[in-house]
Copies of this chain bind each other. A is one copy, B any other.
Amino acid sequence: MTKQPKTRVSVRIYGQDYTIVGTESPAHIRLVAAFVDDKMHEFSERNPMLDVPRLAVLTAVNIANEYLKLKQEYDRLAAKLKEEKDGEDDD
């Protein structure tokens, strides 16, 4: 297995600077950071009374919800693809 080089990328999320270390490309890391920044701003507009820790946790919950729903949908699709593949093999 090739060891992926680690990249360090500085990003700003909700007014704070973070250094993200990962094996993903800097472009991908910036995309992820922008996604979280957008979500936090969206959430704070809808809930202006929330302090930053609670806002961040609820943003994490929101993203986790989308992730777990997509995971179910992905597993369903993968099973369907496998089923069709197995069907073809039977021919």
Given contacts A56-B60, A77-B78, contact A68 B31 (CB under 8 A): yes
Contact A71 B70, beta carbon cutoff 8 Å: yes
- Per the bound structure, the CA–CA distance linking A39 and B59 in Å amounts to 13
Number of interface residues of A (CB under 8 A): 40
Give complex CA distance A73, B7 in Å: 22
How many copies, total?
2
| A45-73 with Cβ < 8 A to chain B | 52-54, 56-61, 63-68, 70-71, 73
CB A91 to nearest CB in B, in angstroms, measures: 12
By a CB distance below 8 angstroms, the chain B residues around A20 are 58, 61
Residues of A within 8 A of B (CB): 13-14, 16, 18, 20, 22, 24, 28-29, 31-33, 35-36, 39-40, 52-54, 56-61, 63-68, 70-71, 73-74, 77-78, 80-81, 84
